[in-house]
Chain A
């Protein structure tokens, strides 16, 4: 008995050392099979050996992330009983202001900090001017419509832009008919439905339209739908869903997870139609590159709206998590690092996918490892 105990203690210690080694090198997963077999025990013993986290982490920002943040907070607090995480869905702009002034230790934001914002802002809680900014909430946005009897259509970027901007007046327009042979299209008038509030979803949709259909969509990337376009303006995602549900002939854009009961369009990318889906969304991010001129931990992406992969779904919304690269207060650093690590982990991403219908980062190894490396740099 005694022997066995001390043996297992020794094994634990070895595992712990191995775990620390893993964490330090941060990329040892392709080592000998023996190392892989210890991975399960290591995760458990790391949690046990590191002094238990405690305290309160104040986070806030993007309203779009609310459901995902709920899942993350629940999962993180279940694993760390001493920690309270607050998420204040005040909106992305207010979140960024709050991060600069020190009200929030970490934030979620639909727009990455712009280069101008970064150069002109002092982050109160950070020891340096570097921030860790990673995409953590990726969600396919769907072109949804209401045509009785039709549940799916195929659209290309130009047709989608013409529909949403009101340039196509009726549903039996030759442009739509040409893409959908065999579908009997009604002569119903087209009513575009868009967001009346300022929204990151609108920003991502108009970014897609301006890059994939530049000849039709001439309004650029905007977060307030252009005021000179005709159509029906509705408040929030649920307002758009209600407006589309309520009238035949409507077409709008909503988060894919909210399209139950509505017709959903497949968008033609690289020559083939792709229905909105989680894996396709992550592929688009995988085909994108982080903006240049930023620090190594600032992964603000220029989303590639015309990826060459024919299974990538290009109309996606990318929302970020932001933390300091180095905190003045080590307590903040420990909490922020642990929380962010959980958020971008396979477990956290799966939890968000279950609760918010987002696309897990982990389905693409390139993006997932870049994000994990950036988060590991928090100190």
Chain B
């Protein structure tokens, strides 16, 4: 209404301002709506998980999945398993991802960089069930032989102690498959932020007499750090929530163990939910939702801690 009144009195410039004003307002309400919708959806999911998950707290051996005596007997090993396998996956994927991004942007010839960049994006397009099949039929049998060797020669290291798995379906195999799945996230985000670092900064560093590596360390990495961390967090979220590949590759149990090459590995929350939901009934379903809530909380805690650490370092 106010626009209609403003139009005849104010001439061409005013028309321009009024239009921008309308655009601004539309833009503002659209972003507000998007923001509120996200929060509402998130809130709705959390409310659903809390309401339907809470009854599991009163569960007993007769009513809970796997006949555990109380819900924490499920929660703790599975949360540990999710965190443990994801941590190793991130440990493998992050250095490779950053190295890849540096190679593509700083070292490799431009042409090769473009080709490699789109090649790694293809990794993200492979469905997780394919990674699962690949892990099960290709990686695990080869890994089993490596594990037998590790056990024989490095068995004194706690990570490699115990009987090695004959089938190779261990937490280490699962982490390797997860690492390859999350690699594109780390690599692509790192590449983007690294390519945003002004060329002049690097040239200045080189002009001051630093080597290629020193230039990367002093001029590139500090600027790109927050982007790299964001990529790693996104990768961690994917690894924590990955269900199908882990369900197919890992031989899960409900034990907390740090052994990387045994048959009895801590299972993961997401795979446990998927494997037990089809035949679950009654309180077992509540228990599975409770586990989902706990995974959500774990992801939230890890993310906010990481962000807080980064913010403190910047100041």
Contacts and interface: CB of A to CB of B under 8 A. Distances in A.
Partners in one complex: yes
B167 A92 contact: no
B251 A196 contact: yes
Interface residues of A, number: 35
Given A94-B281, A110-B279, A232-B263, 8 more contacts: A94-B280, A189-B166, A196-B247, A233-B267, A239-B248, A243-B167, A246-B168, A247-B144
A104 B141 CA distance: 43
A233 B265 CA distance: 9
B141 A246 contact: yes
B166 A248 contact: yes
B214 interface: no
Given A233-B253, A242-B136, A191 B267 contact: no
A257 interface: no
Closest 10 pairs (CB-CB, A-B)? A91-B278, A93-B281, A197-B275, A198-B279, A191-B166, A247-B166, A247-B167, A224-B66, A91-B279, A232-B251
Interface core residue of A196, A198, A222, A250 (most chain B CB under 10 Å):
A196
B280 A234 contact: no
Interface residues of B, number: 34
Contact of B278 (A197, A227, A231, A248): A197
Interface of B: 65-68, 136-137, 140-141, 144, 163, 165-169, 247-248, 251-255, 263-264, 267, 271, 275-281, 284
Given A231-B263, A235-B248, A242-B136, A250 B278 contact: no
B65 A198 contact: yes
Interface in A226-271: 227, 230-235, 239, 242-243, 246-250
Nearest to B253: A227
Contacts of B264: 230-231
Contacts of A191: 165-167, 263
Contacts of A63: 278
A193 B136 CA distance: 14
Interface centre among A200, A227, A247 (most CB of B within 10 A): A227
A96 interface: yes
Interface string A184-208: 0000010101001111100000000
A235 B281 CA distance: 19
B142 to A, nearest CB: 10
Nearest to B165: A232
Contacts of B278: 63, 90-91, 93-94, 197-198
A364 interface: no
A182 B153 CA distance: 37
B279 A92 contact: yes
Contact of B166 (A96, A110, A196, A250): A250
Interface of A: 63, 90-94, 96-97, 110, 189, 191, 193, 196-200, 222-224, 227, 230-235, 239, 242-243, 246-250
Contact of A247 (B137, B141, B247): B141
Given A242-B137, A247-B167, A250-B167, A91 B248 contact: no
18 contacts: A63-B278, A91-B280, A92-B279, A93-B284, A196-B252, A196-B271, A197-B279, A198-B275, A199-B279, A200-B279, A224-B67, A224-B276, A232-B251, A233-B253, A234-B251, A239-B136, A242-B137, A250-B167
Contact of B137 (A97, A197, A246): A246
Contacts of B281: 93-94, 96-97
B277 A227 contact: no
